[in-house]
Amino acid sequence: MNFLIELYNFLKIRKKFWLLPIIIILLIFGGMIILTQGTAVAPFIYTVF
C-alpha cells in the first residue's frame, strides 16, 4: 500500500497526471493476462497484442 501512496505523491508533486491512464491500462491488461492464463480465453487475448 505504501507504493501506491508514493506513486500518487509522485504524480501530484511532479504534475504527471497524464501517466495515470497509461498505468491503469497496463494494470488492466496485466490482470487480464494473469487471470486468463491457462484458460481457453488466453489465445484470444494474446491476439490483441
Say yes or no to pLDDT of 19 above 70: yes
Say yes or no to pLDDT of 13 above 70: yes
Say yes or no to pLDDT of 17 above 80: yes
State the residue for C-alpha cell 486468463.
Answer: 36
**What does the pLDDT average to over 20-33?**
87
Domain residue limits at 24? 19-49
| Residue 26 lies inside a defined structural domain of this protein | yes
pLDDT tens, residue by residue, 34-45: 877 766 766 776
| Residue 7 lies inside a defined structural domain of this protein | no
| Residue 3 lies inside a defined structural domain of this protein | no
pLDDT band, very low/low/confident/very high, at 7 (cuts 50, 70, 90) = confident
| Residue 30 lies inside a defined structural domain of this protein | yes
Answer yes or no: pTM beyond 0.85.
no
| Sequential DSSP letters for the chain | -HHHHHHHHHHHHHT-TTHHHHHHHHHHHHHHHHHHTTSTTHHHHHHH-
If one counts the domains in the chain, the total is 1
Q: In whole angstroms, what separates CA 2 from the centre of its chain? A: 17
| Residue 27 lies inside a defined structural domain of this protein | yes
- The answer to whether the CB of 21 falls within 8 A of the CB of 27 is no
| Residue 49 lies inside a defined structural domain of this protein | yes
